[in-house]
Amino acid sequence: MAFKAKKPGNSKQQKKKQKTQPFFLNEKFRFILGIFILLISAYLLIAFISFLFFGAADQSKLDLSWKELVFNSDVKVENKAGKTGAFLSEKLMNRGFGIASFLFIYLFVVSGFKILGRNLVKYRRTVIYTLLTVIWFSVFLGFVFPKTSASSFIYPGGQYGFVLGSWLSTLIGKIGLLLLLFISGLSILVVRFEKVYSAVKNIFKRREKIVAEEDSEEDSPAEEPLISDDSISKVIDEEDNIKAIFEPDVADEEPMEIQRAEEEEVHQEVKPAPEEKEEEGLELTVHHKKEEEVEANFTGEGMEDYDPTLELSRFKFPSLELLEEHSSGNAEVSNEELLANKNKIVETLRHYKIEIVKIRATIGPTITLYEIIPAPGIRIAKIKNLEDDIALSLAALGIRIIAPIPGRGTIGIEVPNRKPEVVSMRSILSSRKFQESTADLPIALGKTISNETYMFDLTKMPHILVAGATGQGKSVGINVIITSLLYKKHPSQIKFVFIDPKKVELNLYSVLEKHYLAKLPDEEEPVITDIQKVKNTLNSLNVEMDQRYDLLKKAHARNIKEYNKKFIGRRLNPEKGHRFLPYIIVVIDEFADLIMTAGKEIELPIARIAQLARAVGIHMIIATQRPSTNIITGVIKANFPARIAFKVASMIDSRTILDTPGANQLIGKGDMLIAQGSNMTRVQCAFIDTPEVENICTFISEQQGFPSAFLLPEYVSEDEVGPGEVDLNHRDELFNDAARVVVANQMGSTSMIQRKFSIGYNRAGRIMDQLEAAGVVGPSEGSKARQVLLQDEYSLEQLLNSFN
């Protein structure tokens, strides 16, 4: 498959754009202006410093009228920057903001460099803080030195500082002013410099700790017990209960163990890659170390590492507060329920002459697993055959028998709980496992039977097929996957391509366009719904994949991780086309609809991505309601080793997805089986409601984003080009330029147009057809270049004018 593509924007167009720019945006003008401002800063510096030394001598001259000062050449000043320097210093320092006026020079320097295209600092922030600092200092100095000494000519706080200080001190008194200066000074420092903030906080924390230690010494000289009284009593309680149930006074001789595993939750906000760990940090603070912006251009060794998050360095990750608890009230499995189930299992098995040595229960959020060890000599297949009978006698739908449980040597019977527990997304994201995960694309999906958070790294899967009958939790599952990534990954690190022919499920992510989405250039809708655009996007992803492989090859990197590491370490030159590569996650909902309408045209690019894209960081998640073999074909199956099945209608459907039965016995509402190769895990999917997803999306979209979505390479499909009629009213925007090139070179070659304008073959071919229709070139002559029908530029310009 040959993919022709180009990155948006070519040099010619850029040049054209530059030509139409207003003069003040012109690069040369900016260069001159930048240098001019830098020279002014140098001049002001000389003037100010001279003013400090010679200001006294110049005072009498500065009292003259400005006409005399300017035009009378007998009037001479000592200031090394001349009369203008002396005048400006007097106005800015004595009549302005005093010594703090030196900071204006800093602003000039920063502005000069910014105009020259070098961002030394974050500009807007710096301007605001510097102006605030100027005002603060002038008031402070005005307050400390209210009057200058008789011998001094300088007002340290300047006139403004003095006036403002005097006014404030009459308003709130001297002590009030002092306090105001203290708090405003501290605020500027704390907000401006993260380090000051941490230092101040540490002082308080240390103080708190000392007080706490002193208190605890006074209160309890003995060592603190590791377990609180509360928890001890809980343990004893449980033990009592267990004994109460399984004392053999009822009809059960077999002992049973109960495992109520509960995973420890860390009640702490997610902190993706924090620079400094805080003990109690409740708020989501993503601290990116740089105060100053780093030049993003490659300059090789010795430079600070490239930081992809820098462009949105103030981006805040959504906090867990945006998620609901979803507590389902009294969802505990009661001891009566456990005992009743156990007795029924034992009775049923006994009825079929199957004796049990031991039985053990593990309580999960929606099901309880009863593990039994049958007496020696009992055949496992016999128990498996009794699946339906046991289900009937337990009067519960969806019993699944796992005989034997791999690696355990026991037989498992999964029985749904009477009152299932809703696993909230919040509990999953606040789990230690998720928070401390160092996976590249961490996804927390739900809880396993033993109440552990089930997590995986998408880069290892590397693509997922999600299937399940309608209403069983598929959409929620996809939202859980997407949300996990949104809580851990910065917008610069991952990009989503959302394909949703049904137009409803994924549309709520469209507000993330400028943060997390990738799309084709010129495409309006960020979530793709139109079938033709789906084809173009998938093919464009193939092009992106090929381009990424080329970059990896040039960088001698085996995969995206190695490549990005080299790029971050500034070992790859952006001028040679290298760029930081975000992971791309393609989410396709209602895959069946696509295959039904577009068949192979969709299947082939998907299969190609699935086969090859792992190393270059493109991962796919495809979901379908209809797990039939004409949808989930052999090609798709072979390339999606990781599959998630929600409840399906029949055993055949389960086999289509997982290659084994089981998914038909699930109980719905997010109950799922996850197959990774031969490994199969039953997991209760976390629950996240649509309003929660909306909250997260709003939180993100309200923050500053990139100027546009991440642009995929342009792809124009063959059928859009179509050889039929050419409509000269809709000429390509490169039509005129291409015609000029063809006439100037007297050569009608498509590949020449392609090369000159760095465009794809299809587009160049389309332009050539238009040139033919316009009479610039003759018809195609096979592999030979076309004949050029216009001999000179004059006749061409006449022709072009006739179109306007």
By C-beta, is 100 or 476 nearer to ligand ATP? 476
> Which of left, alpha, beta for 315 (phi over 0: left; psi -120 to 50: alpha)?
beta
Question: Shortest approach of ligand ATP to residue 443 CB, angstroms?
Answer: 14
Q: How far is the CB of 690 from ligand ATP (least distance, A)?
A: 9
Q: Exactly one of 473, 491, 526, 760 binds ligand ATP (CB under 6 A); which one?
A: 473
Per CB under 6 A, which of residues 707..746 are in contact with ligand ATP?
none
Complex with ligand ATP: residue 468 or 526, whichever CB lies closer: 468
Q: How far is the CB of 538 from ligand ATP (least distance, A)?
A: 22
Compare residues 493 and 625 and give the one whose CB is closer to ligand ATP: 625
Q: Is residue 419 classed as helix, strand or coil in its secondary structure?
A: coil
We find the least distance from the C-beta atom of residue 414 to ligand ATP, in angstroms, to be 17
The Cβ of residue 225 has, within 10 Å, a number of other Cβ atoms equal to: 10
Residues 611-650 as x/- pattern, contact with ligand ATP by CB under 6 A: --------------x-------------------------
Nearer to ligand ATP, 426 or 669 (CB): 669
Stretch that binds ligand ATP, among 72-80, 491-499, 681-689, 770-778 (CB under 6 A): 681-689
Residues 6+ apart with CB under 8 A from 802: none
* Smallest separation (angstroms) from ligand ATP to the CB of 688: 8
Nearest to 258 by CA among 341, 356, 373, 338: 338
- Is 468 annotated as contributing to ligand binding? yes
| Contacts of ligand ATP in 401-460 (CB under 6 A) | 422
| Cβ atoms of 359 and 345 closer than 8 Å | yes
Structural element, H or E, at residue 554: helix 531-554
Q: Give the phi and the psi of residue 76 in degrees, each rounded to 5.
A: -120, 145
Asked if 468 is part of the footprint of ligand ATP (rule: CB under 6 A), the reply reads yes
* Calpha distance 88→68 (Å, rounded): 16
Q: Which of 435, 475, 484, 547 binds ligand ATP (CB under 6 A)?
A: 475
Judge whether 475 is annotated as a binding position.
yes
Q: Which of 368, 472, 564, 762 binds ligand ATP (CB under 6 A)?
A: 472
Q: How many Cα atoms occupy the beta-carbon half-sphere of 177 within 13 Å?
A: 20
Which residue number has the CB closest to ligand ATP? 670
CB of 306 to ligand ATP, least distance (A): 40
Nearer to ligand ATP, 670 or 705 (CB): 670
Nearest approach in angstroms of CB 324 to ligand ATP is 12
Least Å distance, CB 106 to ligand ATP, is: 56
Locate 279 and state its tokens.
Answer: 């003990």
Token pair 């993330």: residue: 512
Residue type (1 letter), 192? R
Residue 470's CB is within 10 A of a number of other CB atoms, namely: 10
Helix (H, G, I), strand (E, B) or coil at 692: helix
Listed ranges 119-127, 249-257, 279-287, 679-687: which one lies at the site for ligand ATP (CB under 6 A)? 679-687
Least Cβ distance, residue 330 to ligand ATP (angstroms)? 16
Residue 194: closest CA among 295, 283, 276, 280: 276
Q: How far is the CB of 695 from ligand ATP (least distance, A)?
A: 17
Residues touching ligand ATP, count (CB under 6 A): 15
Give the separation between CA 804 and CA 800, rounded to whole angstroms. Answer: 7
CA gap 13, 378 in Å, rounded: 79
Phi, psi of 201 (to 5 degrees): -65, -40
The amino acid occupying position 741 is: V
Region from 177-185, 473-481, 533-541, 790-798 binding ligand ATP, contact rule CB under 6 A:
473-481
What is the CA 50 to chain-centroid distance, rounded?
52
Question: Residues 61, 463, 474, 786: which binds ligand ATP (CB under 6 A)?
Answer: 474
Dihedral pair phi/psi, residue 439, rounded to 5° = -60, 155
744 labeled part of a ligand binding site: no
Residue among 422 and 657 whose Cβ is closer to ligand ATP:
422
DSSP state at residue 450: T
3-state secondary structure of 488: helix
Closer residue to ligand ATP (CB): 625 or 639: 625
State in angstroms the smallest separation of the CB of 474 from ligand ATP.
3
**Contact stretch for ligand ATP (CB under 6 A) within 33-41, 174-182, 355-363, 471-479:** 471-479
CA distance linking residue 412 with residue 418, whole number of Å: 18
Cβ(189)–Cβ(137) below 8 Å: no
Q: How far is the CB of 700 from ligand ATP (least distance, A)?
A: 22
Known binder of ligand: residue 471? yes
CA distances from 14 to 8, 18, 20, 430, 712 (A): 11, 6, 10, 48, 19
The total of other beta-carbon atoms located within 10 Å of residue 214's CB is 10
Stretch that binds ligand ATP, among 62-70, 250-258, 371-379, 685-693 (CB under 6 A): 685-693
Asked if 685 interacts with ligand ATP (CB under 6 A), we say: yes
CB of 367 vs ligand ATP, minimal distance in Å: 13
422 vs 693 by CB, closer to ligand ATP: 422
Q: Which residue lies nearer to ligand ATP by CB, 477 or 765?
A: 477
CB 469 → ligand ATP: shortest distance, Å? 7
473 is in an annotated binding site: yes
The smaller minimum CB distance to ligand ATP, of residues 309 and 472, is found at 472
Residue 476, interface with ligand ATP (CB under 6 A)? yes
Rounded Cα gap, residues 308 and 296, in angstroms: 9
Candidates 643, 619, 490; CA nearest to 548 is 619
Question: Annotated binding residue at 495?
Answer: no
| Identity of the residue, 155 or 687, whose beta carbon is nearer to ligand ATP in the bound complex | 687
Nearer to ligand ATP, 474 or 619 (CB): 474
Other residues' Cβ atoms within 10 Å of the Cβ of residue 110: 21
Does 666 help bind ligand ATP (rule: CB under 6 A)? Answer: no
Which of 570, 669, 763, 766: binder of ligand ATP (CB under 6 A)?
Answer: 669
Lookup: tokens for 667:
């109980």
Piece in contact with ligand ATP (CB under 6 A), picked from 131-139, 375-383, 455-463, 470-478: 470-478
- 670 interacts with ligand ATP by CB under 6 A: yes
Residue 471 as a binder of ligand ATP (CB under 6 A): the answer is yes
Query: Other CB atoms closer than 10 Å to residue 511's CB: what's the count?
Result: 18
> Which of 640, 671, 645, 649 is CA-nearest to residue 658?
645
Angle, CA of 177, 180 and 182, to the nearest 5°? 110
Expressed in angstroms, the distance from the first to the final Cα of the chain is: 39
Judged by CB under 6 A, which of 216, 220, 233, 470 binds ligand ATP? 470
d(CA 769, CA 721): 10
Rounded distance between C-alpha atoms, residue 535 and residue 540, angstroms: 8
Residues that bind ligand ATP (CB under 6 A): 422, 468, 470-476, 625, 669-670, 685-687
> Which residues define the annotated binding site for ATP?
468-475
